[in-house]
């Protein structure tokens, strides 16, 4: 078996899937567990209710204090960010519909129970405000990296999300619907180089390191440029007859056998790599890796839902960090091409097998009519 067939699978497992609701389900479980603990401790319901109200009110007071501190900063930007509307800035800092109503309810309930607490009415809220301000001063309430990532993903605020949509709308959606016609014309003028129709796709290279070469021959000497497909020309954003084209490459295997395909890098990865090299972008290598994975996932989700691009693309995701094989890229491309070849041959064999079975069925029936025994039979018929 060749080395290409033994090469590792694309790092699909390293591409993060969308976050689910496990955090919320875990909170439901913990609520039930703690309720059971309170029940087993045999505390009075009145005492438990009092403690819950006090702590719940503390949380709402803390949210109110934090919102006031945030509002003081936002007032400085009210003209630029909120069109001069102070109420808009206040709503952005405080969720009155949720926190305001809960705070009033908790305050009312606390007022009814304060006689048993042993502290004056204003003392506990004052202590709560002081604790909340101290957590803000020492930065103890900053969201974790996972929380920030989840917020960005849920609201589609990642750099990768915008790059994936821009790549699809501004490029793939334009060229992919015309790709197979372009390949057909190219084959007519080049002795049918792209023979396997299963490989009539745009093979999009997505290195998770975001290292993109302008010339594929420099990335791997076994990959050589052959020519360009016919250009696709459209009017775009004021540019008359803007042209788009794809390139055909020759890829050599270990036995120097030639394979041909349309292949190129996902160009937005070049932007991610450039951002990580520019200090003013404040874009670390770890952030680049995370955004590259999210770009791959987002692009795949977009293309899977696109009817115009169905069957016209192949994403080649790989991690070449620490890879010393100078022919790693050509082997990765060949592995995908051979997989597509096997799929086409399997389909052809299945169709041919079905045709052979249809042709062979009458022969089998004839053989059964001729003889149902392994012994020689007489030529004379004894049938009456």
pLDDT at 361: 47
Average pLDDT of the segment spanning 187-193: 89
361-377 pLDDT, tens digit per residue, is 443 433 333 334 444 44
pLDDT at 371: 39
pLDDT at 280: 85
55-83 pLDDT, tens digit per residue, is 777 777 777 778 888 888 888 888 888 88
Which has the higher per-residue pLDDT, 58 or 333?
Answer: 333
- 115-129, 297-311, 351-365: least confidently modelled range: 351-365
pLDDT at 198: 84
pTM of the model: 0.67
pLDDT at 358: 46
205, β-bridge pairs: 265, 316
Is pLDDT at 35 greater than 70 in this prediction? yes
CA quadruple 356, 362, 366, 367: dihedral positive or negative? positive
Is pLDDT at 2 greater than 60 in this prediction? no
Is pLDDT at 248 greater than 90 in this prediction? yes
Percent of the chain with pLDDT over 90: 33
In angstroms, the CA 107 to CA 158 distance is: 40
Task: Give the burial class of 354: count Cβ atoms within 10 A of its Cβ; 0-12 exposed, 13-18 middle, 19 or more buried.
Answer: exposed
Task: Give the burial class of 334: count Cβ atoms within 10 A of its Cβ; 0-12 exposed, 13-18 middle, 19 or more buried.
Answer: buried
pLDDT at 322: 74
The residue behind tokens 């087993």 is 40
Token representation of residue 311:
């069957």
223-235 pLDDT, tens digit per residue, is 999 999 999 999 9
Average pLDDT of the segment spanning 340-355: 56
139-174 pLDDT, tens digit per residue, is 666 666 666 666 666 665 688 899 999 999 999 999
DSSP secondary structure, 295-355, as one string: HHHHHHHHHHT-STTTTSEEEEEE--TT---TTHHHHHHHHHHHHHHHHHHHHHHHHHHHH
pLDDT at 79: 86
pLDDT at 208: 92
Is pLDDT at 177 greater than 50 in this prediction? yes
pLDDT band at 343 (very low <50, low <70, confident <90, very high): low
HEC string of 64-128 equals HHHHHHHHHHHHHHHHHHHCCCHHHHHHHHCCHHHHHHHHHHHHHHHHHHHHHCCCCCCHHHHHH
Percent of the chain with pLDDT over 70: 71
pLDDT at 83: 83
Token representation of residue 352:
């041919």
**Mean predicted lDDT score pLDDT of the chain:** 78
pLDDT at 320: 84
In angstroms, the CA 317 to CA 329 distance is: 11
Query: Are 153 and 147 within 8 A, CB to CB?
Result: no
Is pLDDT at 99 greater than 80 in this prediction? no
Average pLDDT of the segment spanning 105-119: 63
pLDDT at 147: 66
Helix (H, G, I), strand (E, B) or coil at 267: coil
């Amino acid at each position: 078996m060749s080395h290409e067939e033994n090469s590792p699978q694309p790092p699909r497992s390293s591409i993060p899937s969308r976050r689910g609701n496990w955090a919320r389900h875990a909170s439901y479980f913990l609520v039930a567990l703690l309720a059971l603990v309170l029940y087993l401790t045999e505390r009075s319901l009145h005492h438990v209710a009092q403690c819950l109200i006090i702590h719940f009110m503390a949380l709402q007071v803390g949210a109110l204090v934090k919102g006031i501190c945030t509002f003081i900063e936002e007032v400085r930007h009210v003209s630029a960010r909120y069109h001069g509307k102070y109420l808009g800035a206040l709503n952005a800092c405080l969720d009155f519909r949720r926190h305001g109503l809960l705070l009033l309810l908790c305050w009312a309930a606390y007022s009814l129970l304060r006689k048993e607490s042993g502290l004056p009415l204003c003392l506990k809220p004052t202590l709560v405000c002081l604790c909340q301000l101290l957590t803000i001063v020492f930065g103890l309430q900053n969201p974790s990296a996972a929380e920030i990532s989840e917020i960005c993903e849920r609201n589609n605020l990642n750099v990768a999300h915008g790059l994936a949509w821009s790549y699809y709308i501004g490029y793939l959606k334009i060229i992919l619907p015309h790709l197979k016609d372009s390949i057909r014309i190219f084959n007519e003028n080049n002795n049918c180089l792209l023979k396997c129709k299963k490989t009539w796709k745009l093979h999009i290279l997505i290195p998770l390191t975001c290292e993109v070469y302008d010339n594929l021959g420099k990335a791997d000497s076994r990959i050589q440029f052959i020519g360009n497909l016919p250009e696709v020309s459209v009017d775009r954003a004021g540019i008359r007859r803007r042209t788009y084209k794809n390139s055909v490459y020759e890829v050599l295997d270990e036995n120097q056998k030639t394979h041909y395909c349309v292949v190129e890098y996902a160009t937005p990865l070049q932007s991610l790599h450039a951002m990580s090299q520019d200090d003013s972008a404040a874009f670390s290598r770890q952030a680049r890796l995370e955004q590259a994975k999210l770009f791959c996932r987002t692009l795949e989700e977009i293309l899977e839902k696109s009817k115009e691009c169905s069957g016209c693309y192949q994403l080649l995701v790989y991690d070449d960090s620490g890879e010393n094989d100078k022919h790693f890229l050509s082997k990765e491309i060949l592995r995908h091409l051979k997989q597509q070849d096997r799929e086409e041959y399997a389909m052809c064999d299945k169709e041919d097998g079905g045709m052979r079975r249809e042709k062979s069925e009458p022969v089998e029936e004839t053989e059964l009519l001729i003889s149902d025994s392994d012994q020689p039979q007489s030529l004379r018929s004894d049938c009456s």
